[in-house]
Amino acid sequence: MTVRAYRRFFVVAWQFLPILLAYARDRRRFLVFGSPRQVSPETRRRRARALLASMLTLGPTFIKLGQLLSTRPDILPPEYVEEFATLQDEVPPAPWPEARRVIEEELGPPEEVFEDFDTDAISGASLGQVYVARCEGERVAVKVRRPNIESLVEADLRVIKFSLPLLMRFVGEAQSFSLETLADEFGVVIREEMDYAREARMLEEIRANFTDNPTIRIPRVIEKRSTDRVLTMEYLGGTKISEVDDLDALGVDRTGLAENLQRVYLQMIVEDGVFHADPHPGNLAVQDDGTLVFYDFGMSGRVPPYIQDKIVEFYVGIANQDIDAILDALIEMGTLSPEADRDTMGSVMELAIADVRGEQIEQYRVQQIVNQVEDTIYEFPLRLPPNLALVLRVATVVEGVCVTLDPRFDFIEVATSYLRERGYLEAGVQQFLEDRVEEVNRATQSIVRVPPKLERTLDRLERNDVAVRARIEDSNQVVDRLARRVVLGLLLAALTLSTALTYSLGAYEGAAVGGALALLTAFLLYRSFRTPKGIRAQPQFTRQNLRQRGASGLDGTSAGAASSAADSAGGTDRTDGSGETSAPVGADRSGDEGRV
């Protein structure tokens, strides 16, 4: 690492040291010895707030890391996901002289490049800030990369990579794999977001996909005034989508607006394969005529065709309430382990679908499934491949925005209607029939092939010419643990006997040594029978209503990640064309953030 990276490592370590010590004590109460301790949901939430405050203190890279972690429930407990979902990309803008230097290096003096330039930033974000200017008689928004951000991000990325081996000690095997992939993914994501030339290309591509849709407005890029570090766009104003009172004053149909928003994202993900991945309320606005405006395409992504097909199958399974089809789609996308308990996950999916549809769910049913999930969900955790993490973020945040607009909004009904209009539901039936015909063909071919093979096998059995090879799968090292216990038990018995004999013969020093070894062996044997307990969180498997239910297994959760994302964006009634606001984050945090 560079000198700056080493210095930065100690700064980061100092910020995270209290929370890491708390995690270490969860595994061993007195750090080097002691039993594990259980962590309540309230404690996890307090720690999440403290960690969030540390990320805000550490600056741009860690703010972005927190945002990415809010999309990864396969890595963090739900309390952390919910808290991090409130982390908006809002920091005070850099001083104007520093930003001016960036513009001069990229375009030239602002007063020569633009007819008019307001030096007061209308918004500040972790990686850039936005100004209003006038170019060729048109009002434009000028997004400028934060000065000297590149070296800071590179130093922080080195620190994160250097810290991974330490973090692995606090998580399980599945989470450690996810952490490694997350670190690589985060480096790619943050570098892409700093590349304004890439953002311009993604913006124009998505804008072209909606040129025939009059209900959508996406800013046009001013190419002559845009570079890798400066992005000049058409200025589009509007009312922030979460300001429901102002929308009502404008006479906007909020239910129709929510339906339009979901349909837009379904088109991006299912059909276009390129999507705007940061739909929090600061990046969505509504014009007076109800037109939906999108800002800030720095966080955007692509969906491979194969994943698109599986997402369609997933939605079709939900529309038909076909639990097996839903689970198959999740497995084929790599989101669910093939070894997962299908009965348990099927129950979770049934409850989630009922919850999203707004159906009444009996309390005993909730607790029954919570108890069922607790025994299996961490052994076979849900996983999130990198190409699906942003899709999950979109689905969660869009849900929060839609619920803000219409608390009774039916996502499944809108998705079903969209799929039916596009012909996906009928295509699904046709594909089902084609698959069944193919299965019949394969079965017919097997009927022809099996009898000769069976006859040859029976002949070999008759000649005693059959060998059976077996391989024991022991991924959980059960056999290894049993063998260790047997060895320790035999050793303990031998030491106990030898200690008794030496004591009876008067060799007290030898008896003391043997007794000490026997006690150590007994302790190791006792430890081998204890169930290891790590940092576990209560599972959450629906996103809105179930978190607010009073079951003991769900206590301590207050709001869904999506709703938090929707409700957390404060600020002015009007957006400014940048999709970002300048209100400080975390100003109203509770006073117990610093305690762990």
- Tell me the pairing of strands 123-124 and 128-135: antiparallel
Q: Is 278 a catalytic residue?
A: yes
Whether 372 contacts 387, CB under 8 Å:
no
Q: Which amino acid belongs to residue 484?
A: R
The whole-angstrom separation of Cα 578 and Cα 296 is 6
**CB neighbour list of residue 310: distance below 8 Å, 6 or more residues apart:** 329, 332, 333
From the candidates 26, 74, 278, 355, which is the catalytic residue?
A: 278
Write out the H or E segment, with its range, that includes residue 395: helix 386-405
The DSSP annotation for 334-393 comes to: TSS-TTS-HHHHHHHHHHHHHHHTT----HHHHHHHHHHHHTTTTTS-----HHHHHHHH
Structure tokens belonging to residue 119: 């030096």
Whether 397 contacts 71, CB under 8 Å:
no
Strand (E) positions, 212-323?
216-217, 230-234, 238-240, 274-276, 284-286, 292-294, 300-302
The whole-angstrom separation of Cα 121 and Cα 541 is 41
The whole-angstrom separation of Cα 323 and Cα 351 is 11
List residues with catalytic annotation.
278
